[in-house]
Amino acid sequence: SQQGEEDPQALSIQEGENATMNCSYKTSINNLQWYRQNSGRGLVHLILIRSNEREKHSGRLRVTLDTSKKSSSLLITASRAADTASYFCATDGNQGGKLIFGQGTELSVKP
Amino acid sequence: DSGVTQTPKHLITATGQRVTLRCSPRSGDLSVYWYQQSLDQGLQFLIHYYNGEERAKGNILERFSAQQFPDLHSELNLSSLELGDSALYFCASSPGTGNTGELFFGEGSRLTVL
């Protein structure tokens, strides 16, 4: 079973708008990560947030983590057409050696 | 370029056949992970090797097997192939083991079973 579940499954916005994707997970974690995948390509790591962190920034990305609700959100500000991709959250489920991915959010940014 | 190399990029074969997918991790990375991505199942963790030893196993079928060699490259063997095995197979690597940090993914091997 998937550890992480993303919401929404698909998101379509205009360039310049912000995009918010949410992830919920089931068990305790050491960290939560977000990855990006362009169509048919390999996944690329975006950001990692540890279980004792609440918010993290990287460029136009902002990630929050609420361990009490077992949820995380990824905000992409001032989106660009090049941000069009699928975004996945991944958790280690406090198991080590095993990173479990959610089903992903498909983001489409229209120019 | 992640530094992880997967071959072949594309593979078309028939049901009942056997294929081997190969992965070379980033220089210096000791951990190799295999994932299967399909439209209906999403990204499924298959297996994790660290420095030649199996460390974690996921939803890997008995028809599938993997190993990591002394030079740290890894192979995923898929046998008695079925139509449902058609998928993208990804290899990823990381420096260590234990608490899982950032993974570096290859571009994948797309397997089509006819």
Give the nearest chain A residue to B108 (CA atoms).
Answer: A42
Q: Which long-range contacts (CB under 8 A, 24 or more apart) does B49-54 make?
A: B49/B74, B50/A97, B50/B96, B50/B97
Q: What is the spatial distance between Cα B57 and Cα B45, in angstroms, rounded to a whole number?
A: 8
* Angle made by CA atoms B112, A4, B28, in degrees to the nearest 5: 70
Distant-in-sequence, close-in-space partners of B6: CB < 8 Å, separation ≥ 6: B21, B22, B23, B24, B89, B90, B91, B106, B107, B108, B109
Chain B positions in Cβ-Cβ contact with residue A2 (cut-off 8 Å): 42
Question: CB-CB: which of A41, A96, A103 is closest to B42?
Answer: A103
Q: What is the spatial distance between Cα A70 and Cα B73, in angstroms, rounded to a whole number?
A: 36
On the question of pLDDT at B1 being above 90, the answer is no
| Average predicted confidence (pLDDT) for chain B | 93
Give the nearest chain A residue to B54 (CA atoms).
Answer: A97
Task: For tokens 């599938």, name the residue.
Answer: B64
On the question of pLDDT at A96 being above 70, the answer is no
List pLDDT tens digits, range A39-91. Answer: 989 999 999 999 999 999 999 999 999 999 999 999 999 999 999 999 999 99
Question: CB-CB: which of B4, B55, B107 is closest to A97?
Answer: B55
Structure-token pair, residue A28: 């305790």
Q: In what order do the strands lie in the sheet with A19-25?
A: A4-7, A19-25, A71-76, A61-66, A55-58
> Given an 8 Å threshold on Cβ–Cβ distance, is A97 in contact with B103?
no
Q: Looking at the complex, report in whole angstroms how far the Cα of residue B38 sits from the nearest Cα belonging to chain A.
A: 10
What pLDDT score was predicted for residue A1? 43
What is the SS3 assignment for B15-56? CCCCEEEEEECCCCCCEEEEEEEECCCEEEEEEEEECCEEEE
Q: Is B100 on the interface with A (CB under 8 A)?
A: yes
Residue B85 Cα distances to A50, A98, B114, angstroms: 35, 21, 10
Q: Looking at the complex, report in whole angstroms how far the Cα of residue A3 sits from the nearest Cα belonging to chain B.
A: 11
B77-104 average pLDDT score: 90
> Given an 8 Å threshold on Cβ–Cβ distance, is A97 in contact with B35?
no
